[in-house]
Each structure stands twice: as C-alpha cells, then as structure tokens.
Amino acid sequence: MKWSVRTWQPARAVGGTHLPLKHPVKAGSVSLRAELKDRNGNTLVQTIERAYLIVP
C-alpha cells in the first residue's frame, strides 16, 4: 500500500459524535487518522490503514 500525508483531509467532529467525510471520486481504500490532545497536554495519534473500501 502506498499513501502520503499530502492526501490527508481534515475533518471536525459535529456535536462530538460524528465526522462528515469527503470521499475520493475513484474507487479504492480509505484510511483514517485521529490526532487528539487534551487540556493537560496528553496526546493520542491513531491511524487505521484501509479502514474501508469505496466501490464504484
């Protein structure tokens, strides 16, 4: 699999419960990445490669 951080698109949580996502036009896989930071400076970075597929 080949991916680049240049292809990541930001998404903001709506109401703290879901994320609206823009999908690529071409069929293929979608990877997800979350970067979180709380008030105390704790951080979490999680990447799920090929989380799901887009089919034409």
The per-residue pLDDT for range 5-31, each reduced to its tens digit, is: 777 888 888 887 888 888 877 878 888
Q: CA 36 to CA 30: how far, in whole Å?
A: 20
Q: CA 54 to CA 23: how far, in whole Å?
A: 8
Rounded to a whole number of angstroms, the CA Rg of the chain reads 13
Confidence category of residue 3, pLDDT binned at 50, 70, 90:
low
Domain assignment of residue 8, yes or no = no
The pLDDT value given to residue 18: 86
- Determine the residue type at 40: N
Domain assignment of residue 14, yes or no = no
Domain assignment of residue 18, yes or no = no
Domain assignment of residue 44, yes or no = yes
pTM: 0.69
Confidence category of residue 2, pLDDT binned at 50, 70, 90:
low
Q: CA 32 to CA 48: how far, in whole Å?
A: 5
pLDDT over 90 for what percent of the chain? Answer: 27
How many structural domains is the chain composed of?
A: 1
